[in-house]
Amino acid sequence: MNSTPTLTKKGWQDVKDRFADLSSGNSKVSSLLSQDQERVLRTIGQMEYWLDDKFRLPGTSIRFGWDTIIGLVPGVGDAVTAALALYIVWNARSLNIGRWTQFRMISNILFDTVLGAVPLVGDMFDVAFRANRKNLKLIMKELDKRKTKQV
């Protein structure tokens, strides 16, 4: 198993696999983080999994999560999922993620919320865009950069 989360053709691995190395201290970014920060990173990964990847459409490789399901409720659903996504950004701040990365994360959420609010088309967009996955990828990329700068 790889020591860091990697993207495959089918998307990110299950959250348990992604963060197994991190919790055992074998990850490239693990040495950068305190135990509290490792816990925060696992929480972010679990939230991303539940919001974007929890369910699979039977007979396909299409995955979706609570973000898509809650987003089906007109108006309120998109506001709730935006708030949950902003909670991920709030947690990322405790990992000392840079302001530019935070701005990009918030931009992903705003884009997802605005286009997700469009009836029917927005719900299909929610399945395809996956702002939370993109934001987790941004966090991991910044942590990996930080690690390479220290070495």
The structure's pTM equals 0.76
- How confident is the model at residue 104, as a pLDDT? 97
- How confident is the model at residue 4, as a pLDDT? 40
Question: How far apart are the C-alpha atoms of 37 and 23, rounded to whole Å?
Answer: 11
Question: How far apart are the C-alpha atoms of 113 and 42, rounded to whole Å?
Answer: 24
Is it the case that residue 29 has pLDDT exceeding 60?
A: no
Is it the case that residue 80 has pLDDT exceeding 60?
A: yes
Task: Mean pLDDT check: name the lowest of 32-41, 114-123, 133-142.
Answer: 32-41
CA distances in angstroms from 145 to 47, 50, 93, listed in the order given: 23, 26, 16
Model pLDDT for residues 98-110, shown as the tens digit of each residue: 999 999 999 999 9
Is it the case that residue 112 has pLDDT exceeding 60?
A: yes
Helix boundaries (H) for the chain: 15-24, 35-48, 66-70, 76-93, 99-116, 121-129, 131-150
**Count of other CB atoms within 10 angstroms of residue 11:** 12
Q: Are 65 and 50 in contact (CB under 8 A)?
A: yes
Is it the case that residue 21 has pLDDT exceeding 90?
A: no
